[in-house]
Structure 1
């Protein structure tokens, strides 16, 4: 399982966390978010993929951000349609990873993800809450037993050190673990020591 650290905001902290070599770092380009990123991403080691997080943004604006920040992945956290994902995929000539987010509650129907299988590289399952993301709570992972697709996915939603044991027991195509609010000193400012500990424990799970 790979590691994505999302909601990065401050240049010094970005470099500090980047030294841990996560597989992905996420930058939120949604103005209503407390973790809204409106700066310049400092130079990162090339193995770290930069993911832009968008909520109901236009294809044109997403492509502008991809080019401005040299993003390798796009995370769609709104109500983007299959046609929208297809348009973005076509205009980027398949050169960008598209991650479609689904907010999961107790009554979530995994049938809704099927139409997106051919237009996205990955799904991301987050906790349904008041905000598009960063609500800081986990959903009941038992519902994932209803996931029948072979499409690898990111698992998100209030994941902290306490969830490591449950992650170890997942028998599903989890491509990456996505962490954010549980490792923050304040919105957008990550605790490097906690992340170091989590990454080490996640690596043990992967053995």
Structure 2
């Protein structure tokens, strides 16, 4: 079971969370978010995938930030269409091919931004409250790597509340997904229960329930959560 910690903002806190070895660290590039990221991402183990979170952003800006921060995953948290996702992936593939071709030359250039050698994962987010029509996912099945199900609320993520997980019992597809939306330490038993189901849950995504203030994660609570849920859950 994978763990993604989203809404990272401050260098020291990023380093502390990275020491816990989550599988993904999420950086929000959305000016309206209280956790909007601007600055430098410190070095941390390559096993942790840097994930950029975007909301209806111009593709050119997404690609620019992928290259600047060497992002390995993109989380689309807006109303991005299938055409948008397809175009984005095609452009990323072209830039990756160019990078591989010029790899040696690019690495010799100091401070040169470049795209990851690995294919960038694309995660498409959908908000759920008390019900959801899974048919809306069908057009995306061939163009995304994962879905992420979050609580539908006023904010584009980070609302701090859970949706009705029983809605997921009707999930009809094989493509794996991230489970998000107000997950905290109080949900350990509930999380363990849903993890024992046949649902293709790939990762748990946590954010606001582990914060002392927006963008600052509580390290001890995250460590306890990872130990009690992620480490001990065997699918």
TM-score above 0.5, yes or no = yes
Q: Does 2:196 align with 1:196?
A: no
Equivalence for 1:128: 152
**Alignment of structure 1 residues 30-179 onto 2, 5 Å:** 30-93=30-93, 95-170=119-194, 171=197, 172-179=199-206
Query: What displacement does 1:127 show?
Result: 0.2
Residue-by-residue CA offset, 1:66-87 (whole Å, 9 max, x unaligned): 0000000000000000011111
**Superposition misfits of 4+ residues, deviation over 2 angstroms:** none
Q: Unmatched 5+ residue regions in structure 1?
A: none
Deviates more, 1:90-99 or 1:75-84: 90-99
1:169 partner SS: helix
Query: What displacement does 1:115 show?
Result: 0.8
Query: What displacement does 1:155 show?
Result: 0.3
TM-score, length of structure 2 as denominator length: 0.86
Q: Unmatched 5+ residue regions in structure 2?
A: 97-118
- Give the number of the structure whose alpha-carbon radius of gyration is greater: 2
Query: What displacement does 1:206 show?
Result: 2.8
Q: 1-side partners of 2:200 and 2:185: how far apart?
A: 21
2:63 partner SS: helix
Q: 1-side partners of 2:4 and 2:83: how far apart?
A: 26
1:92 partner SS: helix
TM-score, length of structure 1 as denominator length: 0.98
Query: What displacement does 1:165 show?
Result: 1.4
Residue-by-residue CA offset, 1:17-72 (whole Å, 9 max, x unaligned): 10000000000000000000011100111000000000000111000000000000
RMSD: 1.0
Residue-by-residue CA offset, 1:150-195 (whole Å, 9 max, x unaligned): 0000000000012221222221100000000000010000000000
Q: 1-side partners of 2:187 and 2:71: how far apart?
A: 29
